[in-house]
Amino acid sequence: MNKTKSIVVDKKILVPFILITSLFALWGFANDITNPMVAAFKTVMEISNAKAAMVQFAFYGGYATMAIPAALIIKRYSYKTGILIGLALYAIGALLFFPAAKYEFFGFFLVSLYILTFGLAFLETTANPYILSMGDPATATRRLNLAQSFNPLGSILGMFIASKLILSSLESDMRDETGNLIFDTLSAAEKAVIRTNDLAVIRDPYVVLGFVVIVMLIIIAVAKMPKRESADHEIHPWHSAKRLFRNKIYREGVIAQVFYVGTQIMCWTFIIQYADNLGIPKAEAQNYNIIAMAIFIISRFISTFLMKYLNARYMLLLFAMGGMLTTAGVILIQGMMGLYLLVATSAFMSLMFPTIYGIALEDVGDDTTLGAAGLVMAIVGGALMPPLQGLIIDQETIGPIPAVNFSFILPFICFIVIAIYGRRSYREFKKTQ
C-alpha cells in the first residue's frame, strides 16, 4: 500500500492548513459567545423567550442570506478572496455592537449580528471545501473532522467569556435570598441605569473581537496560500444547482444539516433556560454549557480517530441514535438528571456537522463550491428552530411536563432525521463496495 495516501495533512501545506483551521475556532467563538445572549437579552431588555431567540434568527439568518453570494464570489475569484471578505464583514458586524449599545436598541444588535454572520457565511463557505481540497480525497472527511475539532476550542473560549465576563457581571440577573430577580422589583429609572450598564457589558467582548478579527485579516492577506487545483472560474449556478438537486446523497445531506444545526443551537442555547427552571443562576448555568462543550471536544477527537476503523456514515447513524436517547431523557426526566442528559447530548453531536458535510460533498465534482454554499445555507436551521422552541418554553407547562423539558422534543425529532440520513447514506455506500 502507498502510505502517502493515508496522509491527512501534507507538510508542504501545514502552515496554510493551520491558518485556515484557526478560522474554525474564530467562528466557533462567535457562535458560542452569542448563544447565551438569548437569555441575557431576555432579562436586560425585558422581552419574551420567543423574541429573545430572534438573536439566533438574525445570527443564523445571515448564513442563509450570504452563502450563495459567497459561493459565487469564491468561484469567480479565489478561496483567499472569500476569506478576506468574510473577515472584513465579521469585523464590521462585531464593531457595530458599540453604537448598538449606545442607542440601547435591540433591533440594532440584531442587525449587527446579521452583518457579522455575513462574514461567517463567507468563512464557512470557503474554509470547509478549502480544507477538503488540501490533500488526498480519500482522507478528506478525516481532514475536515480534524480541522473542525478546533472549532469547539473557540466555542469553549466564547462560552467561558460569556460566563465569566458577561453573565456573571449582569446586574439585571442579581437575585434575592429567595432566588427571585431583583431587577423585576425596580422602578423604570433604576432599570434604565442597570440596562445601560449591562448592555455595555455585552458590548465590550464583541468590540475586542472585532479588532482581533482585523489582525487575522492582515495575517492572511500577507500569507501565501495554495490555490485550488481547478482554475475554472466560470459561473453556471443554474446548471450546478440542477446537478446538485439530482444528487440524492447531497440533497438529503442538506436536509440533515438543517436539522443538525437546529438541534445543536437549541441544545446549547436553552441549556440556560433548562437550568434556570431548576433555580440555577445564568452564570452558573453557563458552566454546564462549558462542560457540554468540553465533552463535545473530547468526543470530536475520539470520533475522528475512530473513523480510521469505522465507516463515517455508520458512526453518524449510531451517534444520532445516542442523541435520541439523551434528549428523550431530557424531556421525561425532571431535575438535575435531565440537565446531565442535556449536557451529555453534546457527545453525540460532536461528529455530525463535518461528517454530514463530507458525505454530502463526496461526489459533487466541479459543483463543490456551490454545494458547500448549500450546506452553509443549511445553517438556517439555527435561525428557524430556536424561536419555535422559545415559543414552547413561554407556555410554562405542557400537560404535566414543564414546557422547557417538553421543548426538547424538537431536538429529538432532529436526531431522528439525522439517523435516517446516516442509515440511507451508509446503505448507498455499501452498494458501491
Domain positions in the chain are 8-227, 235-432
List the grid coordinates of 159: 462560552
Tell whether the model's pLDDT for residue 372 goes beyond 90.
Answer: no
235-432 and 8-227 share a CATH fold = yes
Tell whether the model's pLDDT for residue 106 goes beyond 90.
Answer: yes
Band (143; pLDDT cuts 50, 70, 90): confident
Beta strands in 69-194 (DSSP E): none
pLDDT at 49: 82
Assess contact for 390 and 50: CB atoms under 8 A.
yes
Helix (H) / strand (E) element for 279: namely: none
pLDDT at 409: 96
pLDDT at 4: 44
Radius of gyration, CA atoms only, the chain: 21
pLDDT at 63: 83
Band (236; pLDDT cuts 50, 70, 90): low
Domain spanning 235-432 has what CATH number? 1.20.1250.20
Tell whether the model's pLDDT for residue 3 goes beyond 50.
Answer: no
Of the listed ranges 69-83, 188-202, 329-343, the one predicted with least confidence: 69-83
Average pLDDT, the chain: 87
Band (233; pLDDT cuts 50, 70, 90): low
With the C-alpha atoms ordered 158, 163, 165, 169, is the resulting torsion angle positive or negative?
positive
pLDDT at 297: 85
Band (110; pLDDT cuts 50, 70, 90): very high
pLDDT at 341: 96
Q: Name the CATH code of domain 8-227 (choices 3.40.190.10, 1.20.1070.10, 1.20.1250.20, 3.90.79.10).
A: 1.20.1250.20
With the C-alpha atoms ordered 74, 55, 90, 166, is the resulting torsion angle positive or negative?
negative
Task: Write out pLDDT tens, residues 254-300.
Answer: 999 999 999 998 998 889 888 888 888 887 888 898 899 889 889 98
pLDDT at 337: 95
CA dist., res. 279 & res. 82, Å (int): 45
Residues contacting 283, CB < 8 A, separation 6+: 163, 164, 167, 168, 170, 173
CA dist., res. 193 & res. 160, Å (int): 26
DSSP of 243-263, one letter per residue? HHHH-HHHHHHHHHHHHHHHH
pLDDT at 1: 38
Residue 384: HSE in the Cβ half-sphere, 13 Å Cα cutoff: 15
Band (214; pLDDT cuts 50, 70, 90): very high
Q: pTM of this prediction?
A: 0.76
